[in-house]
Amino acid sequence: MKRITNAQFLRQCLINAGERGIVFADTFRRRKGNDVIYHKGTYASYIKLSQVLKRLGWIEATGEKETAYSRSGSYELKQPRTYYKITPEGLAHSEQDWSNPLCILYPKSSH
């Protein structure tokens, strides 16, 4: 298996999930055993990646949400678990584009 970036791993998860979509917290935990190059990043940086993908229009919320609970399950969290799916725009971009979506969002100036 070739090594992939976090964004490429997300792309695979999104494609596999289809219309149901994914919850980012679930994929964050799963990426360690999947030959992802940068799997030691923080959850905050992983969520920032999701924000970049949203700004590019490559992912969107499915509208499905579910109640989120603390790790111990003893109390309900304020933010629900939100599902996201890949958009036609996201599918149109190659795996190479997904290797570093920040370069797509902020291309180098041609000056």
Question: What's the confidence (pLDDT) of residue 39?
Answer: 60
Residue 93 falls inside a structural domain: yes
Residue owning tokens 């971009």: 93
- Going residue by residue through the chain, which has 111 residues, state the pLDDT in tens, using 9 for 90 and above: 577 888 998 999 999 999 999 998 888 878 876 667 766 678 888 889 999 999 999 999 999 988 887 777 778 777 888 999 999 999 999 999 999 999 999 888 544
**Which 3-state string (H, E, C) describes 75-89?**
CECCCCEEEEEECHH
Q: Structure pTM?
A: 0.83
Overall number of domains in the chain: 1
Residue 97 falls inside a structural domain: yes
Instruction: Name the helix (H) or strand (E) containing 15.
Output: helix 6-17
Residue 15 falls inside a structural domain: yes
Q: What is the CATH number of the domain that holds 88?
A: 1.10.10
* Ramachandran sector of residue 58 (left: φ over 0; alpha: ψ -120 to 50; beta: rest): alpha
Neighbouring residues of 80: CB distance < 8 A, sequence distance ≥ 6: 65, 66, 67, 68
Range of the domain at 71: 6-104
Residue 111 falls inside a structural domain: no
